[in-house]
Amino acid sequence: MRTLVISDIHANLVALEAVLAAAAGQYDRLWFLGDLVGYGPNPNECVARLRDLAPDVALSGNHDWAVLRKLDADEFNDDARKMVHWTRRELTDENMAYLDSLPPRHTTPPFTLAHASPRHPVWEYILDLQTAEENFDYFDTPYCLVGHSHIPALFVLDEVAGMLNFYLVGDGETIDLSRGRLILNPGGVGQPRDGDPRAAYALLDDEARTWTIHRLAYDVAETQRLMRDLKLPPRLIERLEYGM
């Protein structure tokens, strides 16, 4: 079974469509790790597109929760908070109900899926060894897939040697899933944050036991144009071309 794993679309329809086109024919099922809306110009279109795709697993993230008023928007920075309020006004009732139906965590052995972390599924960044080490106690499966940081990354726990390692994963790099207990992040589709503006996604091959990261250039300028037309916050528009 081959799985397309995507996360953090953030209402960027141009990036989402580019990823789906690039991955077409290469996967049998789709897993989405949360944050469908927030930041970008196409919340309704992205929700509708994901609904049409009927993913096998779809999670909610912190921006989705903020739009749903399950999370206090005052915890966000100024631009993110503005986008929460804007997205609330834009989303149809039907699309809001779909967002509300998504859980923040799901287990499908041998994988645990969470938007942010298994310990705090909605809002905890796993970006350092200490946080990763603590989170290994919060899932029982060999593997945990997370998003939220928008950075393709890998934490490897060798339980025999008692060692934990962290790696950034580059375009086209394939990870052997037999190397230990793993926390894996596919990066962000709609707003990468590792200094690379290309959309990021992963292909998981159950039979080969591999995880491969892919980076894809998309029409950033088109997403920026849509955001300018809607008079969305300038900083959010500019950051897309830098991957920050």
- Under the banding of pLDDT at 50, 70 and 90, the label for residue 122 is very high
The angle at the Cα of 120, spanning 118 to 121, to the nearest 5 degrees, equals 65
**pLDDT, mean of residues 10-34:** 98
pLDDT of residue 74: 86
Which ranges of 56-184 does DSSP label H, i.e. alpha helix?
Answer: 62-67, 78-90, 93-100, 129-135
**pLDDT, mean of residues 89-95:** 97
pLDDT of residue 83: 97
**pLDDT, mean of residues 94-105:** 97
Q: CA 126, CA 117: separation in Å to the nearest integer?
A: 7
**pLDDT, mean of residues 179-208:** 96
- Under the banding of pLDDT at 50, 70 and 90, the label for residue 110 is very high
pLDDT of residue 139: 97
pLDDT of residue 159: 73
Q: CA 132, CA 125: separation in Å to the nearest integer?
A: 9
Domain ranges of the chain: 2-239
Kindly state the tokens that stand for 106: 């799901």
Phi-psi region of 187 (alpha: psi -120 to 50; beta: other; left: phi over 0): left
Find the length of the chain: 244
Q: CA 235, CA 7: separation in Å to the nearest integer?
A: 22
**pLDDT, mean of residues 4-26:** 98
Task: Tell me what the pLDDT averaged over the chain comes to.
Answer: 96
Residues 6+ apart with CB under 8 A from 29: 1, 2, 3, 4, 55, 56
Q: CA 46, CA 52: separation in Å to the nearest integer?
A: 10
Name the superfamily (CATH) of residues 2-239: Metallo-dependent phosphatases (3.60.21.10)
Strand partners, 215: 200
**pLDDT, mean of residues 85-99:** 97
Q: CA 117, CA 114: separation in Å to the nearest integer?
A: 6
Q: CA 144, CA 183: separation in Å to the nearest integer?
A: 5
pLDDT of residue 161: 66
pTM: 0.96
Q: CA 62, CA 114: separation in Å to the nearest integer?
A: 11
Kindly state the tokens that stand for 43: 């919340």
pLDDT tens-digit map of 215-244: 999 999 999 999 999 999 999 999 999 988
Q: CA 4, CA 133: separation in Å to the nearest integer?
A: 26
pLDDT tens-digit map of 156-176: 998 766 789 999 999 999 999
| DSSP structural state of residue 48 | H
